[in-house]
Amino acid sequence: MSERKRRGSTVERYIVNRLTAKGFACLRAPASGSKRKQPVPDIVALKDGVIIIIEVKSRASEENIYVNRDQAEGITKFSERSGGELFLAIKSPSGIRFLDFSKLRQTRGGNFVADKNLISSGMSLEDLVRHVESKLVKKLDLFA
């Protein structure tokens, strides 16, 4: 396993462990590199009917993050079918940020980019948990 994949896997496990501690049911995708016809996201996190889809990227410095077009299309399609919300989790030396994937900018080549400003505006893990819990409250209100 490459250093980059190993690091990504460590971040995935960290996110899964933290969300599990917050009451989520989390499933990680099988290690990438397996024979998959279509890209699937790294993590599916579920809580009381709320569906969160997470793709994880790790970077050693504070540069921009790119998601190539095929991968972006695969995980966007997965998220749309699921009825969930898609987030890009970026682990950098300054911590982990969760970005609404629809906020990423598409380049002329069709790839997607998260620049430094977008990344620094992302949610912390605690923000993400609060976001999901606010959706749960709204769901309950529907039945009140």
Q: Indicate the annotated binding residues for Mg(2+).
A: 12, 42, 55
Active-site residue, 32 included: yes
Which of 11, 15, 79, 89 is the binder for a second copy (CB under 8 A)?
Answer: 79
Helices 3-21 and 125-142: crossing angle, nearest 10°?
40
Structure tokens at 88: 């890009």
- Strand 85-92 and strand 50-58: pairing? parallel
CA 62 to CA 39: how far, in whole Å? Answer: 26
For the chain, how many helices (H) and strands (E)?
A: 4, 8
Is position 54 an interface residue for a second copy (rule: CB under 8 A)?
no
Asked whether position 40 contacts a second copy by CB under 8 A, the answer is yes
Binding segment (CB under 8 A) for a second copy, from list 35-43, 56-64, 90-98, 100-108: 35-43
The residues annotated as belonging to the active site are 32
Residues that bind a second copy (CB under 8 A): 20, 23-31, 38, 40-41, 44, 46-51, 77-79, 81-84, 142
